Amino acid sequence: MRLNSFDALNAFAKQLERHIGGEGFHTKVVVTPSSVNENGVVIKVTLLKTFIQPEPPAGRFTRTLRVRVSVAGTAESMTGLKQATEEIEAIDNYLLSANLRLENEDGSAIPNTRLLQKLNQEDSFVDNPDSIAVQDVQDDRIVIITFTAE
């Protein structure tokens, strides 16, 4: 299967939606830019960079995407806080799986692809200064996706 950057980005978002979910709730995965702006917490997938490695010569056949994956939104109750922490833990558990590959719609691994995660060490939960009942959630990580270039 030959991919371009846009197809790989969307395949990755669908893959996350298939594999990430908590007990009793559905996790919404949104590729940005998007007009989705709803209450609660969503997972946002944002393309940061797409490039072909210039060196070594064999690298010219491999495209790399750098993607930000964010658990973002507001935790307005203990249930919202529970959902946010479960989503962050589910992403961690999934992205730390061995030999993680980009997947087709049917969940089968796409050959010659790879997914790697780099964590952001900043805090994920921040008190909202306008409310003692709301915490802003912004947990970011960078995922590096490599695949055979078109």
pLDDT tens digits, 9-45: 999 999 999 888 766 667 789 999 887 666 778 899 9
8 A C-beta contact, residue 105 and residue 7: no
8 A C-beta contact, residue 147 and residue 62: yes
Residue 84 has pLDDT above 70, yes or no: yes
Q: pLDDT grade, residue 58 (50/70/90)? A: low
Can you say how many angstroms the Cα of residue 72 is from the centroid of all Cα atoms in its chain?
11
Q: pLDDT grade, residue 133 (50/70/90)? A: low
What is the per-residue pLDDT for 131? 66
Q: Which domains are assigned to the chain? A: 5-148 (3.30.2000.30)
